[in-house]
Structure 1
Amino acid sequence: MINKKGILIVDDSELDRSILADILQEKYKVFTAANGRDALAVLHENGDHIAVILLDLYMPVMNGYEFLSVQQADEVIADIPVIVITQQDNNDAEIEALSYGASAYLTKSYDRELILQKIGDEIRKQEVDYLMKTIDLDTLTGCYNREGFCKKAQDLLREEAVYDIIAFDIEQFRVVNDIYGIHEGDRLLQYLARIMTGFARENGGICGRISGDCFVMLLVRKNGYEEMVGYVDKAMERYPLQMKIVVRFGIYQIEDRTIDVTVMYDRAVLAVKRIKGKYGEAYAYFDDSMRNELLLEKEITNSMQQALADGEFLVYLQPKCNLKTEEYVGAEALIRWMNPERGLLPPAQFIPIFEKTGFITEVDLYVWEQVCRMLARWKQENRTLIPISVNVSRADLYHSDFMDRILELMDKYDIESSLLHMEITETVYTENQNQILDMVNQMEKLGFKVEMDDFGSGYSSLNMLTEIPVDVLKLDMRFLEGYSAGKAKGNILEFSVGLAKSLGLESVAEGVETREMVDELKRLNCEMGQGYYFSRPIPIHEFEQKFDKNQKQVVNA
């Protein structure tokens, strides 16, 4: 790329081609084409010798926009920068051209110095990019990698301009990989990186890829980002894929430049997450509510180890009931945090933080020990024993000694594996297939029952069921929300119950809240239910009282 000194002039006017050639031929080797189609032929024959393309937009046979669409989709010639030269001098035309992948825009003034400067700038960018590629650039997309972006961003933040950090990603990108293949997913990432790098350059900034489909830009601050959203939407509409590609943005407005760039990015990511799946919301700003979430996260992170040592974590139980007799036939163990200052914290407030930090494995093992200790006490008190299911988090899968520690607890308290069920959410199955397969096979050999939690909340469940040993399906009762208003969700639930039976699996409906739900589940021959209709999650001593009462009612029924 560094040795390219050729310029391709694409213009239907012979006079304009001649004027431009006169300006350029002293310094560069000049190639010409009268339209987009001829230009593509020249590129495929001489592409290795062409450094920059000068392109008119309005030509017969194939106009400039059509040429850009084809060029940007062709991996061989997509990286050659295009400078649009046209008679039109308006902002809309410039935005349109840049959204198609052009690198720069000039009006046909034929200012010799300006044209040579623009071409020189593009060639220098190429040379710098080439030299940096093995150091600071992402090998897949050609934009900055994480380290390169952070270094360049720190340099820019020493300047006086006011900047924003913008995190962005593709909604449901995993679906693209699963349906169309990883190669097509990579092509989409390259396309997005190309158009956003161009946008960033034209707006005084830089673009980088953090990981997967997670990108970041540093841009000179704008009063709103509708132009950016429109630019991306137009580009995505042209991408040749039979599904709608949606890109969402989170914006962190930089006020304190002493903050690490990675922290700024994390805050922009929080803003992206706030609008995930929300129709019509393309971008969001990091705000005070998110700042408060960060403060709470810091407080939780700082106090969680001591909280575990001080016994602030409590195990609650929620019964699983036989739907025909309403007898307690099992229970799920759930963690609660009784914080001395904030009171009882909801799990949604601390579990994601525990998962993020890896502390979740310590908490999971604490729950396992409390459950084993409880079952041992029930044995001593000659209580009726029922199986207790305990959650296995995604982080647990990466600890090679996790199962060994569970077995040590079982040996310590003399608990049989038949009394312990391992509950794994469907999303864990789909995200960590190799790790989960190894662990589940190990569980099965040791005699544990495995429950797939939140079945139906994802899209890969049927595939998972054919690949991974599962004993119990826990059905997501959101399928019955609004059941009386339509049959679709009820039909899905009926299918899921039937599927479980056909595979020889037990089924447990989660989130059962009304008598109407119970009756419908009984009609579908679902065996067990769990939810507020039977009992909310309660402390162990309360559960034991309700369990004793439930047993007496069943005996007397």
Structure 2
Amino acid sequence: MKQAMKQERNDFQSTFRICTRTGILRFVHLSGRREEREGSSLFYTCVTEHNEDESDVDMLTGLFGPMQFASRMNVLCRQDVTSEEEKYAVLAFNIENFRLINERFGMQEGDLCLKILADILSQAFIEGIVCRTPVDSFYVLIRIDQMNHALNVFRNLLAEQMRKEWNCVVNIGGCLVPSEGWKPSVCMDHAMQACRSLSRFNGKRFAWYDKELADELTFARYI
């Protein structure tokens, strides 16, 4: 039995966990190959140079924390370092006026709302990497050629699964990851700036961080 467990762990020495949902464990190999196994609480520890502290996992949702997200982003983006075109985007997701859900329905309902959103993101962006931050925002790293389909799935699931009485409005900001010289923290910050800019526009729920927005934010700092 010990020999079998040892061999099984060796099979996953070059993998890391994407997310854990009840009854299913999802893994992705650093080579890009994905695999699912049945289970509920077992996960395999990476023993590569990219291994991170397993404590950086959000306790409420089971998603990666920001440090794990940044590490995985570096691993995946480094594979395309020779490309001259952007191949990945960082998306920031924020529930507009989330505090009102907590105030009106209570913290337990607020936590349930976050868990449902985390589950929707995990389903929609199955080909990406999802994380939650301590300030109740979510980030996704996704290939640009997979993004539009994943966003459509996300919007459909959001309409189906979110409770109507919460009246959730989810804003999304995007930042293209440069082909070289990227910094995860900068990409995440730019995506969130684009996300927060949407609160000024009625009906618009997606914005890119581009030169126009960057110039506008820079101008605002000097007013």
Give the TM-score taking structure 2 as reference length: 0.70
Which one of the candidate residues 120, 137, 156 is aligned to 1:195? 120
- Relative to structure 1, the CA distance from residue 147 to residue 252 in structure 2 (aligned partners, 3 Å threshold; closer, same or farther) is same
Which one of the candidate residues 152, 155, 158 is aligned to 2:75? 155
Superposition pairs for residues 94-493 of structure 1, below 5 Å?
A: 121-123=36-38, 127-128=43-44, 134-160=54-80, 162-201=87-126, 203=127, 205-222=128-145, 225=148, 227-240=150-163, 242-276=165-199, 278-293=201-216, 296=218, 349-350=221-222
Deviation, 1:234, is: 3.0
- Relative to structure 1, the CA distance from residue 238 to residue 175 in structure 2 (aligned partners, 3 Å threshold; closer, same or farther) is same
The whole-number CA distance in structure 1 between the counterparts of 2:180 and 2:117 is 28
Deviation, 1:235, is: 3.0
In structure 1, give the amino acid aligned to 2:117.
Answer: L
- Relative to structure 1, the CA distance from residue 261 to residue 227 in structure 2 (aligned partners, 3 Å threshold; closer, same or farther) is closer
Partner of 1:289, secondary structure, is helix
Structure 1: 5+ residue stretches without partners: 1-76, 83-102, 104-116, 298-347, 352-557
Partner of 2:43, secondary structure, is helix
Report the structure, 1 or 2, having the larger helix content: 1
- Relative to structure 1, the CA distance from residue 235 to residue 278 in structure 2 (aligned partners, 3 Å threshold; closer, same or farther) is same
Deviation, 1:230, is: 4.7
The whole-number CA distance in structure 2 between the counterparts of 1:252 and 1:170 is 18
- Asked if 2 retains the 8 angstrom alpha-carbon contact of 1:135 and 1:148, the reply is no
The whole-number CA distance in structure 1 between the counterparts of 2:39 and 2:118 is 20
Of structures 1 and 2, the larger Rg is shown by 1
Partner of 1:234, secondary structure, is helix
Tell me: higher relative CO, structure 1 or 2? Use CA pairs within 8 A at least 6 residues apart.
2
1:80 aligns with 2:5: no
Q: CA RMSD of the aligned region, Å?
A: 3.4
Structure 2: 5+ residue stretches without partners: 1-19, 27-32
The whole-number CA distance in structure 2 between the counterparts of 1:236 and 1:129 is 36
Give the TM-score taking structure 1 as reference length: 0.30
- Asked if 2 retains the 8 angstrom alpha-carbon contact of 1:167 and 1:272, the reply is yes
The whole-number CA distance in structure 2 between the counterparts of 1:212 and 1:252 is 19
The whole-number CA distance in structure 1 between the counterparts of 2:112 and 2:207 is 27
- Relative to structure 1, the CA distance from residue 242 to residue 288 in structure 2 (aligned partners, 3 Å threshold; closer, same or farther) is same
The whole-number CA distance in structure 2 between the counterparts of 1:139 and 1:132 is 16
| 1:16-54 residue CA offsets vs partner (Å, 9 max, x unmatched) | xxxxxxxxxxxxxxxxxxxxxxxxxxxxxxxxxxxxxxx
In structure 2, give the amino acid aligned to 1:149.
Answer: F
Partner of 1:141, secondary structure, is coil
In structure 1, give the amino acid aligned to 2:79.
Answer: E
- Relative to structure 1, the CA distance from residue 213 to residue 142 in structure 2 (aligned partners, 3 Å threshold; closer, same or farther) is same
Between the aligned residues of both structures, percent identity stands at 24
Partner of 1:264, secondary structure, is helix
The whole-number CA distance in structure 2 between the counterparts of 1:256 and 1:189 is 32
Partner of 2:174, secondary structure, is strand
- Asked if 1 retains the 8 angstrom alpha-carbon contact of 2:131 and 2:138, the reply is yes
The whole-number CA distance in structure 2 between the counterparts of 1:129 and 1:277 is 44
The whole-number CA distance in structure 1 between the counterparts of 2:62 and 2:159 is 19
